[in-house]
Chains A and B, each alone.
Chain A
Amino acid sequence: MKASSYYHSQKLVPYVFVLPFLISIAVFYVYPIIGTIIMSFQQVVPGQTHFIGLANYKRVISSDFLTALKNSSIYTLLTILILVPGPIILAVLLSKGPSHMNNALRAAFFIPSLVSVVVAGTLFRLMFAANGKAVVNAMLAWFGLKPVDWILGGARQAMFLMVLVAVWRWTGVNIIYFLAGLQAIPEDLYDAAAIDGAGPLNKFFHITLPLLRPTIIFVTTISIFGGFAMFEESYVLWQGVSPNNFGLTIVWLIYQKGFQLGDMGTASAIGLVLMVIVFTLSLSVLNLFGFFKREE
């Protein structure tokens, strides 16, 4: 408490420190959020914008929106189911052993995340091209399987491709988060468990997993944000036009309505619905993990 009198004598300084944040939040977050809310009740036409009540929200419940919502939800669920357990196991395997080897492997998993979405999308388009010569279909042929039209063949193939790109790009990042989380677990816990005769699996389920909980919560939450915000992967995979809306996601729909069709009102309404969905989901997940229970 002695130090705190120092801080109080400096009344102005702390506000100078947080000033850049306050300004940028006010201008670039609060103002746009209010703008989005207002626009969602308006017919936005240059020069003659006017309020139309809930009409935009009625327009939200269209078949396109339901398709987009379904795609985004399945995508988010699948990416979480793969991109949480997978990287945990990999991080545990990479946390012990020869460090040069582990560093090289870690870098190999991480490098795909450095590649731009546009590059990743192009790359997967070309590897998963529909003809029999393209590399993935050529591999299928080794097993006597027919070439698959990955891009335009159907909703399942499309979802497979989107999730695959996500797994390729994000496994390495999540490994890093979990490795960082693992570093925070005290080594003596494992030593004590070893004395009690616990095997590796026992240690994993009774020490590693429970103590990784903060990181698991963190990764799951950012995966919900990321999953529902997905746009660029499918935009690039389908080069901006997805037949039958195989690759349509909610944010793509917002982009389509707002910037390509000029219907900013409906786009804003969809955006706010998305925000409510993401908030509700992430708060329920946090609640499920007991994040709001004080542990003292």
Chain B
Amino acid sequence: MRTRGFVAIFATILKYLCLIVLAVSFIFPILALVTASFRPGRDLLRYGITFKSIIPDSLDPKNFVALVKSRDGIYLTWFKNSLFLTILQTVLSLFFSSFVGYGLAKYHFRGRNTIFVIVLFVMMVPLQILMLPLYKLTAALGIMNTYLGVLLPFIVSPFAIFFFRQYAIGIPNDFIDAGRVDGLGEFRIFFKLITPLMAPAYGAMAILLAQQSWNNFLWPLIVMRTGNMFTLPIGLNSLLTPYGNNYDMLIAGSCAASIPIIIVFFFFQRYFISGLSAGGIKE
């Protein structure tokens, strides 16, 4: 028994050694990004990320100063656009998707199964192939180059509906019946009783939806036409010209663009696995 104990301890140490090496290699590019953002842009353009930029001899914050100051602080405008769109899209999407998901889970009505099949079907359609008609529709509605144009088509997320439906199925009907006995209306039951019960689901989906929205690329690339309406990914992409000398702004901007979403992750992290496991991917 004793040697077995030693073997077990050795195995555990080996396991964590491997895991830590692997985890560090996943984090390495992010650390390289952070240190590179303190290096002169022209070096990056010429040599890429080098060991010298990863372990710099000096840290010069002037890229970040340039970020705020250059081109009349357009980076701050992009940041503001991204923040505004992400918050609005996440909140609206959480609200509508949980509303619909709960309705599909807890009511029996004609057409319910059909609607659920449509949800699954729509999840399968590659959104990119809808871009052309959506573009025409957005243009016809006169909401090109507006926040509304970016938000409107994707407020209701089929993936999130599916997820909330699975989660709501797990909530015992007794809660709902108790609410009815107390004379609450159907919508009050949802808002007063059910939403608090779905907190872990909201936490998990908040991370995924905020991440999607913050990093959304193709649709805003199509809708937003002028620099002052760009979101961060579109703005940063516009700096990526082969002949450009915008690498100061690009690299520091990439660094600063990644921070808010990492904060959101750590904020909701404790809900993440519990929220996902209680709903979603169980059959």
The interface of chain A, by Cβ under 8 A from chain B, is 3-4, 6-8, 10-11, 13-18, 20-22, 24-25, 27-29, 31-36, 39, 90, 93-94, 97, 101, 103-105, 107-120, 122-129, 131, 133-135, 138, 168, 171-172, 176-177, 179-181, 183-184, 214-215, 218, 225, 228-229, 231-232, 236, 239-241, 251, 254-255, 258-259, 264, 267-268, 271-272, 274-275, 278-279, 282
Does B250 count as interface, using CB distance less than 8 angstroms?
Answer: yes
The CA-CA distance from A290 to B153 in the complex, in Å, is 34
Interface residues of B in 1-49 (CB under 8 A from A): 12, 15-16, 19-20, 22-24, 26-27, 29-30, 32-33, 36, 44, 46-49
- From known contacts A32-B133, A105-B20, A116-B233, infer whether A111 and B242 are also in contact, taking CB-CB under 8 Å: no
The interface of chain B, by Cβ under 8 A from chain A, is 12, 15-16, 19-20, 22-24, 26-27, 29-30, 32-33, 36, 44, 46-52, 54, 96, 99-100, 102-104, 107-109, 112, 115, 118-119, 122-137, 152-156, 161, 173, 176-177, 180, 186-187, 190, 211, 214-215, 217-218, 222, 232-233, 236-237, 240-242, 250-251, 254, 257-258, 261-262, 265-266, 269, 272-273, 276-277, 280-283
* Most chain B CB inside 10 Å of its own CB: which residue of A108, A267, A274: A108
The CA-CA distance from A122 to B232 in the complex, in Å, is 14
- Is B19 in contact with A21, judged by CB distance below 8 angstroms? no
Which 7 A-B pairs rank lowest in CB-CB distance, beginning with the nearest? A17-B103, A129-B48, A35-B133, A271-B129, A14-B107, A134-B48, A180-B277
A126: contacting residue among B48, B190, B214, CB under 8 A: B48
- Distance of B76 from chain A, by nearest CB (Å): 17
- Distance of A212 from chain B, by nearest CB (Å): 10
B136: contacting residue among A34, A35, A124, CB under 8 A: A35
- Distance of B259 from chain A, by nearest CB (Å): 10
- Is B29 in contact with A274, judged by CB distance below 8 angstroms? no
Instruction: Name the A residues within 8 Å of B273 (CB-CB).
Output: 176, 179-180, 183
Instruction: Name the B residues within 8 Å of A278 (CB-CB).
Output: 124, 126
- Is A119 in contact with B51, judged by CB distance below 8 angstroms? no
Closest to A34 in B: B133
- Using A28-B152, A128-B48 as known contacts, list a sample of 11 further A-B pairs with CB atoms less than 8 Å apart, ordered by residue number in A: A32-B137, A107-B269, A108-B24, A110-B265, A118-B254, A119-B254, A126-B48, A214-B281, A214-B282, A214-B283, A275-B125
- Distance of A132 from chain B, by nearest CB (Å): 9
Instruction: Name the B residues within 8 Å of A228 (CB-CB).
Output: 126
Closest to A14 in B: B107
Closest to B190 in A: A17
- Is A274 in contact with B265, judged by CB distance below 8 angstroms? no
- Is A93 in contact with B19, judged by CB distance below 8 angstroms? yes
Instruction: Name the B residues within 8 Å of A34 (CB-CB).
Output: 133
Closest to B12 in A: A97
Between A and B, 21 residue pairs with Cβ closer than 8 Å are A3-B177, A13-B187, A14-B109, A18-B104, A21-B161, A25-B118, A28-B152, A33-B130, A35-B136, A105-B19, A108-B27, A111-B27, A120-B29, A126-B44, A126-B49, A129-B47, A134-B48, A134-B49, A135-B51, A268-B129, A279-B124
- From known contacts A21-B119, A176-B273, infer whether A127 and B32 are also in contact, taking CB-CB under 8 Å: yes
Instruction: Name the B residues within 8 Å of A107 (CB-CB).
Output: 265-266, 269
- Is A101 in contact with B16, judged by CB distance below 8 angstroms? yes
Closest to B250 in A: A122
Main secondary structure of the interface of A (DSSP, over half): helix
A180: contacting residue among B33, B102, B281, CB under 8 A: B281
- Is A116 in contact with B115, judged by CB distance below 8 angstroms? no
The CA-CA distance from A36 to B272 in the complex, in Å, is 37
A36: contacting residue among B44, B132, B215, B276, CB under 8 A: B132
- Is B134 in contact with A116, judged by CB distance below 8 angstroms? no
- Is B236 in contact with A122, judged by CB distance below 8 angstroms? yes
The CA-CA distance from A30 to B122 in the complex, in Å, is 9
Instruction: Name the A residues within 8 Å of B12 (CB-CB).
Output: 97
A113: contacting residue among B115, B136, B211, CB under 8 A: B211
The CA-CA distance from A239 to B243 in the complex, in Å, is 11
B186: contacting residue among A10, A90, A229, CB under 8 A: A10
A215: contacting residue among B29, B222, B242, B281, CB under 8 A: B281
Instruction: Name the B residues within 8 Å of A184 (CB-CB).
Output: 277, 282
The CA-CA distance from A264 to B221 in the complex, in Å, is 17
Instruction: Name the A residues within 8 Å of B190 (CB-CB).
Output: 17
The CA-CA distance from A171 to B277 in the complex, in Å, is 18
The CA-CA distance from A120 to B215 in the complex, in Å, is 11
Closest to B119 in A: A21
The CA-CA distance from A278 to B109 in the complex, in Å, is 32
The CA-CA distance from A196 to B195 in the complex, in Å, is 44
The CA-CA distance from A129 to B53 in the complex, in Å, is 13
- Distance of A104 from chain B, by nearest CB (Å): 8
The CA-CA distance from A176 to B37 in the complex, in Å, is 30
* Most chain A CB inside 10 Å of its own CB: which residue of B102, B137, B257, B283: B283
- Is B132 in contact with A39, judged by CB distance below 8 angstroms? yes
- Distance of A15 from chain B, by nearest CB (Å): 7
- Is A267 in contact with B107, judged by CB distance below 8 angstroms? no
- Is B217 in contact with A274, judged by CB distance below 8 angstroms? no
- Distance of B273 from chain A, by nearest CB (Å): 6
- Is B115 in contact with A282, judged by CB distance below 8 angstroms? no
- Distance of A166 from chain B, by nearest CB (Å): 13
